[in-house]
Each structure stands twice: as structure tokens, then as C-alpha cells.
Amino acid sequence: MSCPFIYSEDYSKLIQPDLTGWCLHLICLAGTGSFVYGGSLYAIRKNDIVIAPHPELITSADCGKDLKVCFVYGDLKFINAQMPANHYGIKGGITLLSDPVIHGTKLEISLLKADFLNIKKRLCLADSDYYKESLGAAAAQMVYDIFMAHRRRDSAADFPQGASSVVKRLTELLESGETLHHREVSYYAERLNVSPKYLSETVRRLTGDSVIYLINRYAGPVITNMLKDNSFSITQIADKMDFSSVSYFSRYTKKLLGMSPAEFRKKT
């Protein structure tokens, strides 16, 4: 497998315009610095956590006095495959484009530093029989520790009710298991009594992602959980999820997981 993580302590390597589909996870251990994300300038200081799910939008990074950081770039497709269908990262994504900086507690920073170093160590074990699995476990632990800080920050956030309500209701529909049968933007727009265009524009503005991306974020873990259950054949899963054909299900799965259903079962 290609390496799904990049670990670094070099702030000059923060700008990675080619890492579309990846996510930056950074902790500031000392000093101060700044960066431009999505056209806005953000400052960081000791104990700040930066979560940027669109690293291609980072256009500059300035190193302040005594700045010390460590960060991990992670492939979102790999990370999301480790997460359950219902997890905070999907909801929390609403706030990250507008404010990617979270001021962490000492405990949160300590946990994340250990998580980053664990990933760094695992990256050196590419010849291990369980390289992918150990990286997956390390990624899941890192993300759950990030959720702890992210959820604490967002619980006190205040957002415009009209637009954020639409996104909130969309995630509630997705969490309820609708992706088992429905993966079309038009379906969710109808359920929410808005036009597909309004839904798409609102989701993009608040999360930086498309509706299809969010739908796939929920559908992916549903598919992986079913594929891990060998009591279902691939044909039965395709039928259960209302795909028009097994070949269409295979193409959809390969797009989401980077491998066909058969390949996924062979590797798990």
C-alpha cells in the first residue's frame, strides 16, 4: 500500500498543494506562528491544535519566535475507512473550514503528541505483517483524541441557525442509515424541503465539502462493515443496498475504498 501518512516537525513543509484529499493534524508545542488557510490568516501558539481537511488551501506559513510543532498529514480515504459510520468528525467538519484552530488542554496535547509519535514509529515498520492494520489502529486513536478537543470546542460554538440547521438535519438523516438505500443528492434535498442547488451550496459553504462527499463518508463504513460479515455475499450486499447491478456496486466500492469488494475481502 502507498504510505497514507506524512510525519514532520519542519514547519516549512506545511504547505502541500498536492495533498488534495488529505488532512493536516498539527500541534503547537512552543512559540508562535501563523498560516493562511482558505484566504484567511490564522495565528497559532503553544497548545494549539490545527485541523485542516483541505491542506491545498494553505498558501503560506510563517514561523514565529521559538516555534516548535509536530504534524501529521493523513490520507482521508484511509483514515475514514477506520471510522464507524456515525462519528463526530463528519459533524465537526462544519466548523473546521471557518476555524481550523482549537486551543487544546495539556491532556489533549499530551495525548496527540503520543499519537503522532506512534504513527511516526509505525511508518518505519513497512515490512511488518500488520503494517496496514497497525497504522489503521494508530490513525483511529489519533482521530478519537482529536474528536475530544474538537467536540469540546464546538460545544460552545455559535453558528447561524438557518444554514447550519440544514447541515445538521442532513447528518441526522445520514446517521439514521439512509445511505443503505439512498446515495443521491436529490433524495436528501427532497427530504429536507430544499433544492439540490441550495443543499449543495450550503454544505459546501459550511463544510468545504460536497454533499456527495458527506454521503460517501457515511456509506463507506456501512459497506466495509457488511463486507467484513462473510454471511453476506457480494451480490446480496449489492441487492440489500439497492444497487442496480453488482458491477455498479463494485465500481462504487472501488471509488470509496480504493479497491473492489472482492479485493477488500481478500485483504481483511
**Domains of the chain, each with CATH number or no CATH:** 5-154 (2.60.120.280), 161-267 (1.10.10.60)
How big is the chain by its Cα radius of gyration, in Å? 19
Residue pair 211/178 in contact by the 8 Å Cβ criterion: no
Grid cell, residue 15, equals: 504547505
Handedness of CA 97, 211, 167, 215 (dihedral sign): negative
Place of cell 424541503: 193
The predicted structure's pLDDT at residue 188: 95
Please give the pLDDT value at position 89: 66
Measured in degrees and rounded to the nearest 5, phi and psi for residue 83 equal -95, 150
Helix (DSSP H) and strand (DSSP E) numbers for the chain = 11, 8
pLDDT in the model for residue 267: 81
Question: pLDDT truncated to tens, each residue of the chain (268 aa)?
Answer: 578 999 999 999 999 989 988 999 999 999 999 999 988 899 999 999 999 988 998 999 999 879 999 999 999 888 887 876 556 666 666 667 678 999 999 999 999 999 999 999 999 998 888 998 999 999 999 999 999 998 888 776 555 456 677 888 888 888 888 999 999 999 999 999 999 999 999 888 877 789 998 899 889 888 998 999 999 999 999 999 999 999 999 999 998 888 999 999 988 7
User: By the 8 A CB rule, do 146 and 98 touch?
Assistant: no
Are 119 and 131 in contact, with CB atoms under 8 Å apart? no
- Checking phi first, is residue 224 left (phi over 0); if not, alpha (psi -120 to 50) or beta? alpha
Per-residue pLDDT, 156: 61
Q: Can you give the pTM of this predicted structure?
A: 0.71
Q: What is the pLDDT of residue 268?
A: 72
- Beta strand ranges found along the chain (DSSP E): 5-8, 22-30, 32-37, 40-45, 48-52, 58-63, 68-75, 101-103
CA 104 to chain centre: 19
In this prediction, residue 82 carries a pLDDT of: 82
List the grid coordinates of 146: 482529536
DSSP summary character for residue 169: H
